[in-house]
Amino acid sequence: MNPHKVCFLIYPGVASYDVAGPAQAFAVAGKDRYSVTIASVSGGLIESDCPGVSFGSVSAAEITGQIDTLVLPGGLNAPTAARGEALLGTVRRLAAQADRIACVCTGAFLAAEAGILKGKRAATHWRYCDEFAERFADVALERDRIWVQDGTIWSSAGVSAGVDLALALIETDHGVATALGVARELVVFLKRPGGQSQFSTVLSGQMADAGGPLEQLLAWVANNLNADLRAEVLAERVSMSPRTFVRTCVSRIGLTPAKVVEKMRVQAARESIEQSDTPLGVIATRYGFGDEQRMRRAFQRNARITPREIRARFRI
């Protein structure tokens, strides 16, 4: 079987990890499975957004015939670069040759500006979601997804999510065993499914309350998920009345204390389910659900998937 042809289209200021991360994943999968080419409008050495890091590239004019996967990586200047006619013309030409298109991070701006994402669902880096939505009203932006697939168009959130996207592509091409093998080789902590949030509940809360009374509390809760985490107990830890604590949590984080705790428990339990063979009942107890049925209901509320469905997906 001929290796799957992957072409990265890069440009000045491209994010180095948006190229190197996915490319490394394809390389680890094996040269018998993937053949990777890096192209640019004119070819030559292309400077990335990382000082001192450049990529050699061939001229896009040399890319003829079928491309199995066209990868459009992002970069800080991608929203501006996407307005360049030479780059846009090249995106359109290569896209017409490609069976599948993968946008990494702000690479979605290139695809959207070229009209490739019209009427499609897509993801991009959280920081650029507002700008993207304003510029491309004809694209169904899914703001909180790690990666999104809509037919032959794939797109991902920022930076490390490009590796998650590459792993998803590898799984589609060669199965979950190969994808998990690549993840292990890369020492990736977890092969995340596309529906996972771009932010962990802990990080989101800590950012929302940076320097505030809830920042450290959330870190404590994350390490004590099987403890008594009722609102009145947590309120006492931060020296607030229960009513004041609930009001503070909602105003600063946007969720009630009970919802924050449930989301954190679901996130921690999900990682354990995906990475281990620990019985679901044990996981339910470990993370404070009490029993498997309560855990299942919490997963359905927060992730629209059951623990058993997750376990089946990640079992080789």
Q: What average pLDDT does the chain have? A: 88
Pairing of strands 54-59, 34-40: parallel
Q: What mean pLDDT do residues 145-165 have?
A: 87
pLDDT in tens, 81-139: 999 999 999 999 999 999 999 999 999 999 999 999 999 999 998 888 889 999 999 99
- Of 145 and 225, the structure prediction assigns the larger pLDDT to 225
pLDDT in tens, 165-223: 998 899 899 988 888 888 878 866 444 554 555 445 555 555 556 677 787 888 788 88
In the chain, where the domains are located: 4-185, 201-314
Distance between CA 79 and CA 216 in Å, rounded?
Answer: 36
Cut 0.75: pTM above it: no
- pLDDT of residue 1 exceeding 70: yes
- Of 60 and 159, the structure prediction assigns the larger pLDDT to 60
For residue 5, the SS3 value is strand
CATH H superfamily, domain 201-314: Homeodomain-like (1.10.10.60)
- pLDDT of residue 160 exceeding 90: no
Q: Are 190 and 182 in contact (CB under 8 A)?
A: no
Q: Could you give the percent of the chain with pLDDT greater than 90? A: 64
Would you identify the CATH topology of the domain 4-185?
A: Rossmann fold (3.40.50)
pLDDT of residue 199: 45
> In Å, how far are 13, 95, 97, 116, 245 from 59, measured between CA atoms?
17, 15, 15, 22, 59
Residue 161 binned pLDDT confidence (cut-offs 50, 70, 90)? confident
| Angle formed at CA 196 by CA 5 and CA 130, multiple of 5 degrees | 85
Residue 270 binned pLDDT confidence (cut-offs 50, 70, 90)? confident
Which structure tokens are listed for 69?
């996967």
Q: What mean pLDDT do residues 50-58 have?
A: 95
